[in-house]
Amino acid sequence: MIRSEEGTATAGGLLRSWVIRFRPHPAATLRMFCFHHAGGGASAYRPWVAELPAGLELCAIQLPGREGRLREKPYQCLANLVPVVAGVIEPLLDRPFAFFGHSLGAALAFEVARELERNGGPSPAHLFVSGRRAPTRPDPDPGISHLSEEAFLAEVRRRWDGIPAVVLEEPELLQLLLPTLRADVALIESYAYVPGSPLECPISCFGGTDDSSTGETDLAPWRAQTRGTFSQRMFAGGHFFIQTSRDQVLAAVKQDLQPLMDRIGTERPRR
């Protein structure tokens, strides 16, 4: 049973707020749930829709506190968020599905996949983790979510170069986005990896060649988190290489999903 934190929202209402389906595809053979980065939102994945295979439906997770959910209080504890997301998406797990997450989204996608497997539910057929160090690799930098506004923004720019200049130049826009960004950083700072069984699904790991926050050695230990196949690719760009090298990233996603989609196609009953 799916419930909101207040227990008042309907299952359908929760799905519409938490899962954005830019182009609903009821006959899709595969769904891919995409988890956004800190300070971002579901709209980051809107441009992907036209580039993905015809049989795939993209479902972008929209966390509270941004875009159409700006008035809602954002989460600041990943352990509290994971079971909520797992419960909300349950009605959409009626066919094969994959997870893609970037940065904060990678940690969330990974833990939701673990939550599903732990509870005996359906598990992803493929997991993409992007721009996020393996969960066994400690973050060498101290937390910043508690810092003053000036110090916090300086650290965000230094570590991830994640705030466009146009936002910094608009004080009103910055003040609108800052609480959500600070909460998202607190969310990832709250993450404490608990050792457990590796996932059954294959993992594809992506990184940026110029990402100072996450290097190749930080990504490689993701291999230990799956019993399936593992691949690691590096793309030109910094932390947001999924934007600057979008075509190459999408080509890699399609390449890794194609065998799965081919297999699903052969397993579907003929009419």
Per-residue pLDDT of 125-172, as tens digits, reads 999 999 999 999 988 888 999 999 999 988 888 888 777 666 777 888
Residue predicted with more confidence, 264 or 89: 89
The share of the chain scoring above pLDDT 90, in percent, equals 75
- Please give the structure tokens belonging to residue 45: 């994945």
pLDDT at 201: 96
The dotted CATH code for 11-261 is 3.40.50.1820
The sheet with strand 126-130 has its strands ordered as 19-20, 56-61, 30-35, 97-102, 126-130, 203-208, 230-235
| Pairs from 250-254 (Cβ < 8 Å, separation ≥ 24) | 250/48, 250/51, 250/52, 252/204, 252/206, 253/52, 253/100, 253/128, 253/204, 254/52, 254/53
> How do the domains of the chain map onto residue ranges?
11-261
Does residue 43 have an active-site annotation? no
Residue 165: predicted pLDDT: 67
Q: What is the per-residue pLDDT across 181-205, written as a single tens digit (0 to 9) for each?
A: 999 999 999 999 999 999 999 999 9
Q: How far is it, in rounded angstroms, from Cα 201 to Cα 93?
A: 15
Strands 203-208 and 230-235: parallel
Q: How confident is the model at residue 71 (pLDDT cuts 50, 70, 90)?
A: very high
Nearest-CA neighbor of 107 among 10, 26, 190?
190
> Half-sphere exposure of residue 166, counting CA atoms within 13 Å on the CB side?
0
User: Which residues neighbour 12 within 8 Å (Cβ) at sequence distance 6 or greater?
Assistant: none
Predicted TM-score (pTM) of the model is 0.91
Say which of 43, 103, 197, 245 is annotated catalytic.
103
- Predicted confidence at residue 169, as pLDDT, reads 72
pLDDT, average across residues 22-32: 93
Q: What is the pLDDT of residues 231-270, one digit of tens each?
A: 999 999 999 999 999 999 999 999 999 999 989 876 654 3
Mean pLDDT of 62-88: 95
